[in-house]
Structure 1
Amino acid sequence: MIALILAAGYATRLYPLTKDTPKPLLPIQGTRTILDLLMDRLEVLEEITEILIVTNERFFGAFQQWQLEYGGTKPVRILNDGTSSPETRLGAVGDIQFVIEREHLKEDLLVLAGDNVLGFGLEGYLNYFHQVDKDCILVRTVDNIQELRSVGVAELDDELRVLSLEEKPQSPRTNIGVFALYIYKRSTLPLFSRYLAEGGNPDAPSYFPEWLHSRQEIRAYFTEGTIEDVGTPEAYAEMRGSLRNGEGNNGE
């Protein structure tokens, strides 16, 4: 299995913090960055054979510098999608397809947002994927209506099959939020190009499984752990404070 970290965004809501520093490389726990904490989650997954990080032209050098200082054991490669501004970005789904095509990927693929701080390990999620042998999305119960309106929202049956999925709904049908952690079977990867060729939205990563679930079965995996998107300067300061005080980022 290959892990793909999406890190090609420009995080304009965090300016000026992210004017010259990509959001995943912001220090979050002392000198350790959001990306460092995410890599901790991946390093313990035996079946991950390589970690790919896709970024843009503006931040490519910063990730290369991070890689020089990174002391992990798994192979890591930084890929440049060639874009240099928010106006020219490929979008999350566009970046996934860029990597699939450039690297000729033929392995199962774990896709992660590079700017999320996870309060749980990923071992259970990967075990579930192998158990059901289907493409998987990660979900958790969300009771805040404003948060639901900012993520994907799923309807599931009793077997945790996805019945519907809607990105950022104004009127959510359920309280099941979908977060940017996906596992795709190798046989599904060619469908990314078909999705985009049919005019699919290349932006948010949940748009692809929203399209996919009506064509083949997708299963959902529930977590009770926290998933923090450090989207504003205030949220960033709050997250740094909680981690400094020993809260959050615990195992499942």
Structure 2
Amino acid sequence: MRAMILAAGLGTRMRPLTLTTPKPLLLVAGKPLIQYHIERLVAAGITELVINHAWLGEQLENQMGDGQRFGARIIWSPEQEPLETGGGILKALPDLSPEGDDFLLVNGDLFTNYPFKHVTDLNAGLGLEADRLAHLILVDNPGHNPEGDFALQEGQVIESGSDKLTFSGISLLSPRLFEGCSAGKFPLAPLLRAAMQSNRVSGEHFRGYWRDIGTPERLSEVSSDVEKGRVDVI
């Protein structure tokens, strides 16, 4: 299976760090954030990667290259301006899912020890069930998102309900989710919500290490956790 790392954001909340460095290249314990994703995906057997970029994207390509030194093959999907998540995926879809297969999606600005091998095992079995369009990884609500995003009910993700959880930014998607979409800038969330309304989104609750690196303070906290051995990085 293939995976896409979303790396086209402007990183405005991380300024001034991102004025001269794209967010995925910010260092976590001395290593670029995106490198952790690449290495963990490869360790899980996912070596065909698509990475989009916009702001300072040439720096990403120059530092990560074609992925060979990580044991991966990276296909770059440059955007003249950020297309948002949905538009970025649709643009990359010919490289991401040339045979119409399900693919893994990972936000580039998170840090986690979620076992990507679990997704490859899921895909190696039946993958998404025939009527499913997405499988979302949900996590406990962090302080910056106390109300959560979606509820999980008997393995199915729904919009409303008690005990909402936070969408981690990790998902297994079917290319069928994008049927009828037109090229251009559009978000992913409305597509997921529409699929939820027709009961076509499954999910799971991950209770391990997960952080959204949205501020310099969170970046520093994650670096400290890695340096002090509080989280296994592979």
- Fraction of identical pairs, as percent: 20
1:178 and 2:176 are equivalent in the alignment: no
Q: 1:126 to 1:222 in 2, by over 3 A?
A: farther
Shift of 1:206: 3.7
Instruction: Look up the SS of the partner of 1:54 in the other structure.
Output: strand
1:120–1:249 contact (8 Å) kept in structure 2: no
2:197 matches 1:214: yes
Residues 127 and 75 of structure 1: CA distance in aligned 2, closer, same or farther (over 3 Å): same
Task: Give the secondary structure class of the aligned counterpart of 2:63.
Answer: helix
CA distance 1:145–1:13, change in 2 (3 Å): closer
CA contact (8 A) 2:226 2:233 kept: no
Question: Aligned with 1:228: secondary structure?
Answer: strand
* Residue correspondence of structure 1 range 113-124 to structure 2 within 5 A: 113-124=107-118
SS in 2 for 1:180: strand
| Gap runs ≥5 in structure 1 | 84-88, 167-171
TM norm structure 1: 0.79
- Separation (CA, whole Å) in 1 of partners of 2:26 and 2:122: 31
Q: CA deviation at 1:98?
A: 1.3
- Assess, with a 3 A threshold, how the Cα gap between structure 1 residues 132 and 154 changes in structure 2: closer, same or farther: farther
Structure 2 counterpart of 1:62: 59
Residue in 1 that maps onto 2:131 = none
Structure 2 regions of 5+ residues with no counterpart? 129-133
RMSD after superposition: 2.7
Aligned to 1:86: none
Q: Distance in 1 between matches of 2:89 and 2:66?
A: 26
Q: Is the contact between residue 5 and residue 51 of structure 1 (CA under 8 Å) also seen in structure 2?
A: yes
Match of 2:2 in 1: 2
On the 8 A contact 2:110/2:213 being kept in 1, the answer is yes
Structure 2 length-normalised TM? 0.84
Match of 1:26 in 2: 26
